[in-house]
């Protein structure tokens, strides 16, 4: 069976005369490489080692120079990429693999590199994962040898089984109502039985006594309130001015720095308007 070659720009692909008709009715395999030549026999050998049937492959060489493969979306069952350089397949080429592969199709990326194999494996796995492929796996291909090259490792990944834009109906989970089975014979604790007689007693508030319950100090005051009121009288303040201080300017309670010369509260500490003026015990006493 003779093979025909057609080239465009720097890229070329090889196909048999029956290829275009067979691609419609049977499974298709696309083989790509960054090299100038990729023998059909090499592609068939690799696919056989990978457990695939012997298909008549569609081959594209120098694929690194192509922006878009000349294939329809979701038209290929499997893609085989064989490369000697680390930059192929690029992220863009991996995206093209995802475009042309049918849902559930498989991509195989085989490398002939030497050294730093582990780093290259991780790089290829990252690229196919970012392209949307699932379950990337490492393959040991050292047993596959050819006259001009030998494979070192491979990466296998699968395209999801759904197409872009597909929709699925989500089944709403049935509402499960929790049932609590109460045994009539079960002994339940009475909440009232947890309280003692002491807990039920009304708390007794302390009885206020002394000057705290009167407007003025007691006759026999011992808490010091009588002395404070006596000092306030010396200042010329009335009882109302002490109990409910008011200010026409609104600044009397801020302190002497804000009081006028005729302010009745001049000399007193700062206080809040409307609240009783409180004098300390040592007020009006000499500091020295």
| Tens-digit pLDDT profile for residues 228-241 | 666 666 566 666 67
Beta strand pairing status for 58-61 and 11-15?
antiparallel
- Identify the pLDDT of residue 19: 47
Question: For the segment 28-85, what is each residue's pLDDT rounded down to a tens digit?
Answer: 888 898 888 888 888 888 887 777 766 778 888 888 888 888 888 888 888 999 888 8
Question: For the segment 145-203, what is each residue's pLDDT rounded down to a tens digit?
Answer: 777 777 888 899 999 987 767 777 777 777 787 777 766 666 777 888 888 888 888 88
More confident residue, 11 or 97: 97
Q: Model-level pTM?
A: 0.49
- Asked if residue 80 lies in contact with residue 108, where contact means CB atoms within 8 angstroms, the answer is yes
CA within 13 Å, CB half, 158: 7
More confident residue, 253 or 110: 110
- Identify the pLDDT of residue 282: 59
252 is in an annotated binding site: yes
- Identify the pLDDT of residue 48: 79
Number of residues that make up the chain: 288
The answer on pLDDT for 5 being more than 50 is no
Domains, the chain, ordered by start:
4-158 (3.40.50), 216-288 (no CATH)
* Cα dist from 151 to 97, 104, 110, 211, 246, whole Å: 21, 25, 7, 104, 100
- Mean pLDDT, the chain, integer: 75
Range among 39-43, 52-56, 114-118, 134-138 with highest mean pLDDT value: 134-138
249 is in an annotated binding site: yes
The answer on pLDDT for 264 being more than 60 is yes
Alpha carbon 48 to its chain's center = 44
218 is in an annotated binding site: yes
Q: Which helix (H) or strand (E) holds 118?
A: helix 117-130
260 is in an annotated binding site: yes
94 is in an annotated binding site: no
């Amino acid at each position: 069976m003779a093979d025909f070659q057609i080239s465009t720009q720097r890229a070329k692909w090889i196909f048999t005369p029956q290829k275009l008709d067979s691609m419609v009715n049977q499974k298709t395999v696309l083989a790509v490489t960054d090299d100038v030549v990729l023998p059909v026999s090499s592609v068939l050998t690799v696919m056989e080692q990978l457990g695939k049937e012997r298909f008549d492959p569609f081959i594209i060489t120098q694929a690194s120079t192509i922006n878009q493969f000349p294939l329809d979306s979701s038209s290929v069952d499997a893609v085989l990429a064989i490369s000697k350089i680390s930059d192929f397949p690029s992220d863009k080429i991996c995206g093209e693999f995802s475009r042309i592969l049918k849902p559930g199709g498989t991509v195989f990326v085989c490398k002939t590199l030497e050294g730093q194999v582990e780093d290259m494996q991780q790089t290829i796995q990252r690229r196919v994962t970012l392209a949307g492929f699932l379950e990337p796996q490492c393959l040991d291909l050292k047993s596959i040898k050819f006259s001009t090259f030998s494979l070192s490792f491979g990466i296998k990944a699968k395209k999801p089984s759904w197409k872009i834009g597909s929709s699925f109906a989500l089944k709403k989970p049935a509402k499960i109502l929790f049932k609590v089975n109460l045994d009539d014979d079960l002994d339940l604790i009475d909440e009232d039985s947890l309280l003692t007689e002491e807990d039920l007693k009304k708390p007794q508030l302390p009885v206020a006594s002394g000057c705290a319950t009167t407007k003025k100090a007691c006759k026999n005051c011992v808490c010091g309130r009588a002395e404070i009121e006596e000092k306030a009288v010396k200042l010329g303040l009335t009882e109302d001015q002490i109990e409910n201080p008011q200010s026409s300017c609104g600044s009397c309670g801020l302190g002497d720095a804000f009081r006028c010369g005729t302010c009745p509260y001049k000399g007193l500490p700062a206080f809040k308007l409307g609240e009783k003026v409180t004098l300390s015990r040592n007020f009006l006493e000499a500091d020295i």
